[in-house]
Structure 1
Amino acid sequence: MLAEEFERIAAAAEREGVRMEFIHGRLGVKAVPDGDHDEIIRWLMKRCMQHRPDLWLYPERGLRIEQYRKGHAKPDGALAPEGCFAGQGEWADPDQVLMVVEVTSYDSDTDKRDREEKPVAYAQTGIPVYLLIDRNTCETLVYSEPDGDTYANLTRRAFGRTIDLPAPVGFTLHTEPLKDWVR
């Protein structure tokens, strides 16, 4: 499938309440975020601004995630230097992205998409940190040190515990508030 074809289909699907992604040459479907999902992104955006005012957490920033496969993803957040996406189209170069963020949805595809496919795709792209806020398991997972098709390090903590976001992000998250935004 050509990128242009995917973009046309994805735009039509989003009007119907579904977000689509194109990862590893396959279409993926993601439910539109709920209010608790939005609160988690708002909370994380505030933490990022407090600790790293030189960066911005761009919500749902379209990224080209695979150099040779024309892959596209819209992570829930992309932490990058302010202004780095200026002049880029819907699918931006991820070279300046320090961290991508995903918050799990309550849909049947979350396991495969957020826990299996995206860590591989983001590691292949060389994004230094992948933060997964898993509402199903009530855990925060930090993948770091991309090494080819995987991340060399994975740290997981239950909601309520602190978790370090390693360099180049470089701050600690206190995850107690996440308990309020799960079913």
Structure 2
Amino acid sequence: MPVPEYGTENDEFEYKNPAMSVEEAFDVFSAAAPDGWRVELIEGEIHVTPPANGEHEEIVSELSGQVRDHRKDLGRYTGIGLFVPGASMTGKIVPDLVVAPKGSFCDRQEYHDPSPVLLVAEVTSDSTAGNDRVKKIRGYARAGIPVYLLIDREAEQAVLCTEPVGEDYEQKVPYGLSKIIPLPEPLGFELDTGEF
């Protein structure tokens, strides 16, 4: 219930709601998060994730390296925030890896329009697997990101999601880890998951 504020003009009560919006709470959590912690706003819910373990980071590094080896014209970004549509006014997500043309994010903003993004990749962890497998598929599809690559460590597979339509991807093809994944255009090269 709103709390009255006393002493206003004409002795009328002015009510102020002490609760904050989810976006305001997100900003508070983001500002307070220690280095390495990730704070995301996914479908109206705030998710706080601890720093990733070494295996997780090795996979992200290998993905990034293979993109660099095949497509020197593309930027590989870790720690870049994207606005992704969802149940709240804004979805704010920090994918494990974002691939976009170089120079796509040369401003000082923390979160960016996802329109130049060609691929996002997520590597599951115990604390993020549910979001990576369900909510992020919906968000990335709604944002029109052409390729979502999910490296699901627990299931020991990589899922290549392409052709976003509405809240889903028309194509979701699972590959066992250690297999070769043909990435479609606009990427157009094969990804070797044998190094994961």
User: TM-score when scaled to structure 1?
Assistant: 0.89
Note the residue ranges of structure 2 that are not aligned, 5 or more in a row: 1-20
* 2:109 aligned with 1:89: yes
Moved more, 27-36 or 153-162: 27-36
Shifted more, 118-127 versus 1-10: the winner is: 1-10
Corresponding position of 2:8: none
Aligned equivalents of 1:130, 1:151: Cα separation in 2 = 9
Question: TM-score w.r.t. structure 2 length?
Answer: 0.83
Q: Does 1:28 align with 2:47?
A: yes
Q: Counterpart of 1:165?
A: 183
Report the equivalent of 1:181: none
Name 1:51's counterpart in structure 2: 70
Give, as a single letter, the amino acid of the residue that structure 1 aligns with 2:89. R
What SS class does the counterpart of residue 26 from structure 2 fall into? helix
Give the paired residue count: 175
Residues 31 and 105, structure 1, Cα contact 8 Å, conserved in 2:
no
Cα deviation 1:102-138 (Å, max 9, x = unaligned): 011133x42x201010000000010000011111111
Q: Distance in 1 between matches of 2:27 and 2:91?
A: 11
Q: Does 1:38 align with 2:57?
A: yes
Task: Using the TM superposition, give the Cα deviation of residue 88 of structure 1 relative to its aligned residue in structure 2, in angstroms.
Answer: 4.4
Is 2:126 the partner of 1:106? yes
8 Å Cα contact 1:103/1:135 also seen in 2: yes
Q: Among 69, 72, 90, which residue is 2:92 paired with?
A: 72
Alpha-carbon distance in structure 1 between the residues aligned to 2:71 and 2:38: 29
Q: CA deviation at 1:29?
A: 2.8
User: Which stretch shifts more, 25-34 or 148-157?
Assistant: 25-34
User: What CA distance in whole angstroms lies between the structure 2 residues aligned with 1:31 and 1:169?
Assistant: 31
CA displacement at 1:19 relative to structure 2: 2.0
More contact order relative to length (CA 8 Å, sep ≥ 6):
1
Mapped to 2, the partners of 1:83 and 1:17 lie a distance apart of: 24
Native 8 Å contact 2:22 2:45 kept in 1? no
Amino acid at match of 1:175: T
State how far apart, in whole Å, the 2-side matches of 1:84 and 1:4 are: 27
Post-superposition offset of 1:4 = 4.5
Residue 18 of structure 1 and its aligned partner are, at CA, apart by 3.7
Contact 2:38 2:48 in 1 (8 A): yes
From 125, 129, 140, the counterpart of 2:147? 129
Q: What is the alpha-carbon distance in structure 2 between the residues aligned to residue 53 and residue 78 of structure 1? A: 14
Amino acid at match of 1:48: V
The secondary structure found in structure 1 opposite 2:57 is helix
1:49/1:17 CA distance change after superposition, 3 Å: closer
Report how far residue 17 of structure 1 moved: 5.8
Find the aligned partners of 2:152 and 2:100 in 1 and give their Cα distance: 22
Structure 2 Cα separation of the partners of residues 88 and 167 of structure 1: 29
Q: Confirm or deny: 8 A CA contact 1:145 1:152 kept in the other structure.
A: yes
Q: Tell me if 1:151 matches 2:151.
A: no
